[in-house]
A and B are shown apart, each in its own frame.
Chain A
Amino acid sequence: MFKRKWLTAPYLAFILCGTVIPLIAILYYGFTDQEGSFTLENITAIADEEHAKALGLALLLALICTVVCLILAYPVGLILRKHASGKKGFVVFILILPMWMNFLLRTYAWKALLAGNGVLNNTLGGLGIGKLNIINTPAAIVLGMVYDFLPFMILPIYNVMVKIDNNLIEAAYDLGASKGKVLTKVLLPLSMPGIISGITMVFVPAVTTFVISQILGGGKIYLIGNIIEQEFTLNGNRQLGSGLSLVMMVFILISMALLNKFDKNGEGSII
């Protein structure tokens, strides 16, 4: 309708300066050594035991986190589809509101909640259930990830769910489908774009986090994000940090490519 292609110019400038050039910068650092000559060492450094282990653990914890988020979020989407389809604004509001309390503080609050003598354990102890000793373990990190990223799974699932035409479901019932059949043959395929987009929104930040592992891991557990952060902030080795970032990005891209096979239309979004 509009014939004004040049209106994209300011945006393209931002993409160029804010996304493309910085990516070239990180490529440059990733493939050079401290003297500035070409090397692959920063890339192959991922094979070092401590780096490989941190990447493996990050992928594993992120995977667990994504699965848990999906299991928790899907029923929420189903329930909200039925009972709150007209209240989209309110649902989004309730899920976004926690983000206005600083993300670091919310994670830090879990430290207080989960501590050996923390609120949760005192409550559990009072109820005679016994203690939950997960602080400073990978379990606490997964919990923190699930907590921080759950809204990013619920929102896209909810968004596609409310768009599903009720007539389709009724038609399925009329044709004699059982409840389970409706779920697996109608709802699940139709909500796939939301699921895919939710998985992306949860998996990527979970793999790359360094804050959650630092706060809830008691400094005992290193994920690849921690290693990269430390290369930049502690060891001042930008080249190695860039190289490891590139490797991490490749792993993320591979996972995304696998996922995108399921989402050809790209309909899912958090909005």
Chain B
Amino acid sequence: MKNFWKRFYLVIVLLFLYLPIITLIVLSFNNTKTMGVWKGFTLKWYQEMLSSPQILNAFCNTLFIALIAAVVSTIVGTIACVGIMALSRRQRNTILQLTNIPLLNADIVTAVSLMLAFGLFGISLSLGTVIFAHITFCLPYVILNVLPKLRQSGTSTYEAALDLGASPVYAFMHVVLPDIMPGVFSGFLLAFTMSLDDFIITYFTRGAGINTISTLVYSQVKVGIRPTIFALSTVIFVIVLVVLLLSNFLPDKIAQKREEDAKKGIELTPEQRRKKKTLQRIGYGLMAAVIAVVSIFGGRYVGAMTGNGEVIYFYNYGDYIDPDLVTAFEMQTGIKVVMDTFDTNESMYPIVESGQVSYDVIVAGDYTVEKMIANKLLQPINYENIPNAANLEPSYMEILARTDPGNTYMIPYTWGTVGILYNKTMIPEGRITSWKDLWDPELAEYGILMQDSLRDTFMVAEMILGFDMNTSDPEELQQVVDLLIEQQPLVQAYENDAARDDLITEDAGIGMIYSGEYLYCLDENENLDYVIPEEGTNVWFDCFVIPANAKNVEGAEKFINFMLDAEAGLATFEYLTYPSPNSATMELIDEEIREDENVFPSQETLDKCDMYHYLGKEADQVLASYWKRFRGN
């Protein structure tokens, strides 16, 4: 009975550890990208995974970085351990204390300090900086694994080998190394695992277009993770499970047998010894084969990334382009697109400003583009090389010209409004008319969602209070913050595009959302309806821009031109469901959708709306400080 309870306890702990993993595996077969609903079995995410260059690239990056970091840190670490043994006690203690720093240091501090150091020395961020950072934090794991083994194994066998005439290197390789091999191996494995599972350090030290699985996931967390990543993780997990099971149990079995034999007093017969040797050889052979395959694979993809082919670096919101279009562009022009993603304009801007990474094309929101123009981060667009710009609807270009005189720097990609999405089965149709409804305690029970985005969230309160959405007046902002804090107890969550999943699964009944999400949500859950509140709202444009430090301007122009094609615009509309500024595309869209005023609001509605503007550095800091005041509350 007592044993039963002990087992029961262990099972519960294991269940706790493995429950999320089971969940992810199940979700990888789920026929929808909305989490939390089961829509039947599918393998489509696995297919999409195999055909997605972004995911395969992240996968290769992750393995490549982990492998290099683990191999280098194992070699450097093991050699260092031998050296450490020769040090005096005091020197040894000092070095061990230094070794402990990365272990005890918070990941975020390690990451940030490395990033700052690279910046101070003018080293631009790249794959190399990530690998360096990984080696640095992997080394302590190797040292702490190898050093105790080395101490344990003692010096007598080594000295005996020297006495028998072996050279130090030979003695080390043939006498010491086999003895400490378990320590070296577990150090390697731990280093590899830690590198593989790392997010924070990679996130702060990576260059343009360098994504690992972790950073790819993070860029999608707010957008809603595509199940292709679940599929990829499932595959990795299963492979590792099989490999580790084999490597863990086979040697165990052999060792067990050997022990039993030893107990019985049986010496290994020459044949058995040969067998053992063969097994060992097979083991080494397998390991060598795995390393070879991975390095060939890795070499090829590094070649593809840095090599002769033309490349453009594209910086975009997560899941904000139809992947088929990227493939089509690559096929048509032979230019490889390396895409990096961000979640909000505010998080993209400092990266572009720092100049530590350089992109060729960026998709950015209108007011951020204004800020980039003001800080001279962009270069003017040469319309001669982008003939398809003629497809753009002139009336939208006119609106945009208010921000960017002469449409010099920005070419619209999508546009839309911000409004309220609500569930008609919970809230009667027509009941929602105003932003104030998001402050209605009666609706809180259904779950109210707000955006986690400085300008949009402030805008809602500013509309209710009757302020300009471009205000930076401290008194007005204080009222805005007070109003938002008043709403806080009613709000279920502040999130970005993940809000659509919560509305689809009916985890929330009402929330502020971008107009483009409406059609997608309607497809997934027909009870949802979109409203542009009567106080008015923000009209926004997401635009293509070419940064001043772009290296491949010609490729960037070709890419933009490709995206402005009528058919490409249609594909974009169908994938993103955001309104298109492309009049040639509009003609291809179903009339029924074209006349849906929720997606394409009437001129009357548009007249009540306004655009955000960049307010200058000081005002930006004022906004940021009020935002922190609200969020820190």
Contacts and interface: CB of A to CB of B under 8 A. Distances in A.
Interface stretch (A170-178, A185-193, A207-215): A207-215
Given A18-B132, A26-B116, A93-B248, A112 B240 contact: no
Contact of B102 (A2, A19, A98): A19
B108 A22 contact: no
Contacts of A204: 104-106
B139 interface: yes
Interface string A209-223: 011001100111010
Interface SS, B side: helix
A103 B186 CA distance: 21
Interface string A222-249: 1001011110111110100110010011
B491 interface: yes
Contacts of A116: 447, 507
Nearest to A109: B20
B221 A215 contact: yes
Contacts of A102: 197, 199, 213-214, 217, 229, 233
Contacts of A96: 190, 193
A205 B106 contact: yes
A60 interface: no
A25 B116 CA distance: 6
Nearest to A221: B631
Nearest to A1: B155
B463 to A, nearest CB: 21
Interface string A62-75: 00000000001001
Interface string A45-58: 00001110110000
A74 B402 CA distance: 65
A18 B114 contact: yes
A214 B83 contact: no
Interface in B89-132: 95, 98-99, 101-102, 104-110, 112-117, 119-120, 132
Given A22-B110, A97-B244, A108-B217, A222 B631 contact: yes
Interface SS, A side: helix
A116 B504 CA distance: 13
A266 B633 CA distance: 41
12 contacts: A19-B102, A98-B18, A101-B237, A108-B217, A113-B19, A208-B109, A225-B108, A227-B632, A233-B350, A234-B347, A236-B354, A271-B141
B193 A99 contact: yes
B237 A100 contact: yes
B20 A147 contact: yes
Interface in A120-155: 136, 147, 150-151
A155 to B, nearest CB: 10
B218 interface: yes
A110 B216 CA distance: 18
Contact of A19 (B98, B218, B237): B98
A205 B137 CA distance: 14
Given A26-B109, A101-B237, A236-B350, A218 B114 contact: no
Given A117-B507, A220-B488, A236-B354, 7 more contacts: A4-B86, A96-B190, A104-B218, A115-B36, A222-B632, A235-B624, A245-B112
B225 interface: yes
B632 to A, nearest CB: 3
Given A116-B507, A220-B494, A248 B109 contact: yes
A19 B83 contact: no
A252 interface: yes
Contact of B79 (A10, A233, A252): A10
A79 interface: yes
B139 A11 contact: yes
Interface string A30-47: 000000000000000000
Interface string B205-238: 0000000011001100100010001100100110
Contacts of B145: 271
Contact of A25 (B105, B117, B491): B117
A258 interface: no
A225 B115 CA distance: 16
A143 to B, nearest CB: 10
A211 B156 CA distance: 50
A22 B350 contact: no
A25 B35 contact: no
A235 B141 CA distance: 34
Contacts of B16: 147, 150
B397 interface: no
A230 B346 CA distance: 10
Contact of A106 (B21, B85, B116): B21
A102 to B, nearest CB: 5
B17 A11 contact: no
Interface residues of B, number: 116
B494 A8 contact: no
A93 B245 CA distance: 9
B113 A105 contact: no
B83 A218 contact: no
Contacts of A72: 13
Contacts of A118: 36, 507
Contacts of B148: 269, 271
Contacts of A29: 116
Contact of A98 (B17, B76, B353, B629): B17
Contact of A252 (B106, B194, B197, B233): B106
A7 B502 CA distance: 57
Contacts of B249: 90
B117 A104 contact: no
Contacts of B491: 220
A144 to B, nearest CB: 10
Given A50-B633, A218-B493, A232-B112, A106 B349 contact: no
B632 A49 contact: yes
A15 B350 contact: no
Contacts of B350: 232-236
A25 B24 CA distance: 40
A119 interface: yes
A76 B10 CA distance: 7
B193 to A, nearest CB: 5
Contacts of B244: 93, 97
A256 B104 contact: yes
Interface in A73-102: 75-76, 79-80, 83, 89-90, 93-102
A164 interface: no
B495 A219 contact: yes
Contacts of A207: 106
Given A19-B98, A208-B109, A136 B492 contact: yes
B9 interface: yes
Contacts of B186: 271
Given A98-B17, A115-B505, A147-B16, A219 B494 contact: yes
Contact of A11 (B9, B76, B492, B628): B76
B136 interface: yes
8 tightest Cβ-Cβ pairs between the two chains A and B: A50-B632, A18-B136, A7-B83, A218-B493, A11-B80, A1-B155, A109-B20, A8-B83
Interface in B492-547: 492-495, 502, 505-507
A130 to B, nearest CB: 16
